[in-house]
Amino acid sequence: MSLDDAVARSAERIVASGRRPRIAVLLGSGWQPFVDRVRSPSRLPYAQLPAFPVLGVAGHAGELILGQVGAHDVVVLAGRKHTYESGDASVMKGVIATLTACGVTTLVQTNAAGSLDAAVRPGELMLISDHLNIVQRSPLIGETGNQRFVDLRDAYDPALRIQARATAERAGVTLHEGVYAWILGPQFETPAEIRMLQRLGAQAVGMSTVPETILARRHGLRVLALSMITNMGCGLEDEALSHSHTLAVAQAAQASAVPLLEAIVGELEG
């Protein structure tokens, strides 16, 4: 089956639900309890959507949820496939294309990330203002035509970031803002790599989000992205890093992170 056919069939399954969401929320590690905030949910496993990948990382359910958050119809993606699983940066290409075909105009992304800034602590949240594609891979490789030359000047929509900051302020939740560096993984960074990323101007580092942002911008979607800080970068403090550690810290942070995400999504305008 061609990608175009897979996207068309996936979009048809979603539209058959009777909902036409304009906001999609992509949940990364630690953000899964957000699905319980969706009202009147209906669920579709990724396995039933031919344009969607098979997931292989703990904490990513592989399920699409349609419902309401605030006054909005939304589609929630419970999990993503990472480039480090296969080396292919375009593994979420069919997903983003399907969202576009369903009428989605805004993509809200979440992830778990390590902090490179002593002022941004584990358990806190960071709004992504820009990114560093350290991997220097693109999900658009293989495309033809001028649409592949995507302008990423405002990859993370300034107006949406203003709205998110205002929502966090009203909720009394600290929301840092900074540059996110994408590294391939799945291994964590070395202390030398952390020092390099700090010198390049990054405040957080992680293994996702950037390919989806590039794909979203290629399709004209507005992007808002939040990082849940789960650890300090390697060498900045005396702690051993592991995926289980990431999930444990994320679980502790969910009490403030998930309600804030619900409020941000529910109050988005435009």
CB 38 within 8 A of CB 65: yes
93: Cα separation from own chain's centroid: 14
Which residue of the set 11, 24, 29, 257 is catalytic? 29
Marked catalytic residue, from 89, 92, 112, 250 = 112
Find the catalytic residue in 10, 90, 115, 208: 208
Q: Is 243 an active-site residue?
A: yes
Which residue has 């994320």 as its token pair?
A: 250
Q: DSSP string covering 150-193, please?
A: ---TTSS-HHHHHHHHHHHHHHT--EEEEEEEE---SSPPPHHH
Kindly state the tokens that stand for 56. Answer: 């292989």
Q: Which one from 51, 60, 111, 155 is the annotated catalytic residue?
A: 60
Give the DSSP H or E segment for 21: none
Nearest of 24, 39, 108, 43 to residue 70 by alpha carbon: 39
The one catalytic residue in 90, 111, 231, 256 is 231
Q: Among the options 207, 216, 232, 263, which is catalytic?
A: 207
Given 84, 143, 193, 245, the catalytic residue: 84
Question: What residues contact 126, with CB distance under 8 A and at least 6 apart?
Answer: 113, 115, 120, 175, 176, 177, 178, 180, 203, 204, 226, 227, 229
The reply to whether 245 belongs to the active site is no
Examine the residue annotation and report whether 29 is marked as an active-site residue of this protein.
yes
**Could you give the CA distance from residue 116 to residue 132 in angstroms, rounded to a whole number?**
13
Residue 221 near residue 107, CB atoms below 8 Å: yes
Cβ contact 126:175 at 8 Å: yes
Catalytic residue among 17, 85, 171, 196: 85
Q: Is 112 a catalytic residue?
A: yes
Catalytic residue (choose from 10, 63, 82, 212): 82
Closest CA to 98 of 175, 179, 21: 21
| Cα angle value 7/79/226 (rounded, 5°) | 110
208 is annotated as an active-site residue: yes
> Is residue 17 annotated as a catalytic residue, yes or no?
no
Residues annotated as catalytic are 29, 60, 82, 84-85, 112, 207-208, 231, 243
